[in-house]
Structure 1
C-alpha cells in the first residue's frame, strides 16, 4: 500500500508540475501577445503566485517521492533510467531557477510601468523571450523524465 500511495502522490505531483508549467506558458504568452498592459501585469502576478503555490511544492515532492519509490523498487542510481531521470531533473531545475527570477522581474516591471502609466519597457520583452526559451529545454526534459518513468523496464531490460 505504501508503494501505491507514493506512486499516486508522485504521479499527481508530476501532472501538476507539467500541467501548470504548460498552462502558465500559454497564459503568459497570450497576455503578452494581447498587448494589454493591465492584462500583462495581472497575468505576470498570477504566474509568480502559481509558481510559489503549486510548482515549488511539486519540485520538492517529485524528488522525495522519487527517492522513496526507487527504494521500494530496489533501484539504484547506477540504473541507467534512474540516472538519466535525475540528470534531466537537475537540468530542468537549472532552467527553472532563472525562470523564477525572470518572472518576478517581469511582474515588477509590468506593475510599476502600469502604475506610472508608461508603456512596457523593452527589457520586459527581452526577459520574456529568455523566459520562453528557457522553458523549451525544461519542457523536453519533463517529457524525457516522464518517458523514462513509464518505459524504464522496457528500455533497460
Structure 2
C-alpha cells in the first residue's frame, strides 16, 4: 500500500507537470499560429487553447492547491512561514495573470473566428495577442520560481 505522503507528492508533481507543460504548449502553439498570420490556423488554435485550459490547466491548478495544502499538513509545514508566503504570493501572481488571460483567450477565439471568415488577421487580434503574451511571461517565470522553492526550500518552512 502506498503511504499517503508519497501518493500526495506524486499527484502534486504530476499536476505541476501538467500546469507547466500545458502552459508552455499553449504559449508555443498560440505564438506560432499568431506568427503564421493564417486566420484559419489561428482560429483552430485559439479554439483548442480555450478547451485545453479547461480540460488540463484548470483541474491541475485545483489539484495543486489541494495536494499542496495536504502535503504541508502531512509534513508539518507552517502556513505562517516565509516559504509559504513566497509560494502563495507567486501563486496569487500567477492567478492575477492567468484570470485575465482566460478572458482574453475567449475574445481572441471570437476575433479569430471573425478573422477566419474575412480571411485576414485583425489589428485588434494582434494587439490582444501582445497583451496575452505579456501576461504569460511573468506567470510562467513565477511557475519556475515556485519549482525552485519547492525543490530547494531556501526559506524557513516552519
- TM-score, structure 1 as length reference: 0.95
Which residue of structure 2 lines up, in the alignment, with residue 28 of structure 1? 30
Which residue of structure 2 lines up, in the alignment, with residue 142 of structure 1? 143
* 1:65 maps to which of 61, 64, 67: 67
- TM-score, structure 2 as length reference: 0.94
Distance 2:108 2:67 in 1: 32
- State the 4+ residue runs in structure 1 displaced beyond 6 angstroms: none
Distance 1:91 1:35 in 2: 31
Distance 1:118 1:140 in 2: 35
**Structure 2: gaps of 5 or more residues:** none
Distance 1:135 1:118 in 2: 27
Which residue of structure 2 lines up, in the alignment, with residue 13 of structure 1? 15
Contact 2:104 2:132 in 1 (8 A): yes
Which residue of structure 1 lines up, in the alignment, with residue 39 of structure 2? 37
Structure with the bigger RCO (C-alpha within 8 Å, sep 6+) is 2
Distance 2:58 2:30 in 1: 18
2:87 is the alignment partner of 1:85: yes
SS at match of 2:5: helix
How far apart are 1:118 and its partner, in Å? 4.5
Superposed CA RMSD: 1.2
**Structure 1: gaps of 5 or more residues:** none
